Chains A and B, each alone.
Chain A
């Protein structure tokens, strides 16, 4: 097993464990910190998938900005008391079972995927440029100009919306 593969399995295990902690932890603070850990381990997985740019963005934006926002809110609302134990009802059980069923069906189908020949990675120039900031940036500003501008619209709407909603009263 190569070092890359070994690292992947370590990161994957850590991701699953910390994601499980997000779902199962009693206190919101524990969930939030586990989510930060999940994002970090995922960034590691992304780097192993040769997505260097996204790995960096994951740490900067997700683990950095978005999670800090979560922590701010938890502290602002001083949510320290743990949530009472979950009560099971039919809808919840059915929902959770359908989620598990979907996951099982998907995982089973993944093993039927044709093995990718990965011929493209033989081209060393292409493999070296893959996932770098230059390649991703070029495509974002040329081929994906329209969604890029939509994102700017989205961010403006989100800023205005967040300010409006967080005001004490209108």
Chain B
């Protein structure tokens, strides 16, 4: 028996996850040994760990891609940037949580520890290149998020949301796992890189079995990223979870799940690019259109943001579909609108996906941040806490918040000069370049429809009078810090995306591709 030669260099790729896990352990131990009256140190420890982990990930993001841990994982700029985005989102969410929990006398080390565990799982998920490793890391982040959803039980909603999330999460995990088992049977390996060749053969010899297996894996991911028609859990779960946890779901969980999806399908898709591209395109259309249409009638802003999160998953799926060539097979690609011969410029597609993830993380953390400060402890369980009327006249009562919220809404709607616009521009351009002009047009139309419900909030904030009995919302320094930081990022990255966009389009983004 030969033990693997583990050196410090082998641990370097998982360093961000180690930092996060170590931070979580410190938090858990501090609950035992450091029982002071003030508990603000908890948020500081969590914030420090996430910033440190993000910094470590950013420092490694410029190294060439290579396989680590006997090929079970890879370290490439793609995984490092996803970790950076996750850590950014986590830092914002921790800042939101600090005030949210203090106001409800629920500051506990376990809460932040679970968040850090979830982030460690996300970081590891982004680099997993083997189905079982990927499954376990997916479970690390899911299990932590299930528990976080039920963390703050005021009334029955959080427990029910957690239960719904748990059952559908476990169900989707089972689908993914069974698909992986079948893929293992067909190919004789669980390593994505080794699977490509045997799977290509199997696509000809046993097309049914291979297609069923791929479909099961895809369905598992579609549940996780809440793609239509696998989205039905998302609105209830997003609404029932504590608002900072919802922010983590929409920012971190989504980014990590997409990283896993891209990783799996970039390898497995090579076995039969046309089928995979067609499936991804169909899912993208359904999700973009469905998410936006379902969000239109919502007056409950938290629920509206949940549907909007579904719609954004659709744009991201469009970006993923753009990674595959579409020689006239994509939905609507065979229309006369198609320009020239499509050529996949994968660097552009990665740039689109990563920049979009960054844009969505920053904007949604900010939007949920405003929502969390408008929500009051006394609201209890009622859905009125998130009603559109809460935003009436916000511009007179808290002009700073109103301006920040307007920036987040413009960014989510994809209106310049915000980061959301740049994200959409990059994704749609990558889609058009790879021959998905029809899909890109549907995406633009869907986001134009989506602008209605985002701008409605802006109208309420600036043009409606404040309710007479309106209680002035309190100010919170940590949340305000997060709001200012994300608002600045939304505008700054929207105006000058240069350096960041260059980072995201460096060559050799993805392990195993040119």
Contact = CB atoms under 8 A, between A and B. Distances in A.
Interface of A: 102, 105-106, 108-110, 112-114, 138, 141-147, 150-151, 153-154, 156-158, 160-165, 169-170
B133 A146 contact: yes
B43 interface: no
B397 interface: no
A106 B106 contact: no
B205 to A, nearest CB: 7
A160 B114 contact: yes
B378 interface: no
A66 to B, nearest CB: 13
A164 B14 CA distance: 27
B172 to A, nearest CB: 14
Contacts of B139: 154
Chain A contact residues: over half helix, strand or loop, or mixed?
A: helix
Contacts of B152: 170
B143 interface: yes
B117 A143 contact: no
A110 B113 CA distance: 45
Given A153-B140, A154-B143, A106 B132 contact: no
A153 B118 CA distance: 10
Given A146-B14, A160-B114, A170-B108, A109 B150 contact: no
B143 A142 contact: no
B238 interface: no
Nearest to A169: B153
Given A150-B137, A161-B144, A164-B151, A142 B1 contact: yes
Contact of A102 (B113, B162, B206, B212): B212
Contacts of A144: 72, 132
B1 A161 contact: no
A139 to B, nearest CB: 10
B136 interface: yes
Contact of B208 (A105, A141, A147, A156): A105
Given A106-B212, A145-B69, 5 more contacts: A106-B209, A142-B4, A145-B4, A147-B130, A170-B153
A160 B162 contact: no
A87 B422 CA distance: 49
A156 B209 contact: no
B4 A157 contact: no
Interface string B87-129: 0000000000000000000101011011001101100100000
Contacts of B124: 146, 150
Nearest to A156: B117
B454 to A, nearest CB: 31
B3 A142 contact: yes
10 contacts: A106-B208, A109-B206, A147-B132, A150-B121, A157-B114, A157-B140, A160-B113, A161-B114, A162-B147, A164-B151
* 8 closest residue pairs by CB, A with B: A161-B147, A109-B208, A157-B117, A109-B209, A146-B69, A147-B133, A150-B136, A165-B150
Nearest to B13: A146
A165 B161 CA distance: 13
Contacts of A105: 208, 212
A157 B143 contact: yes
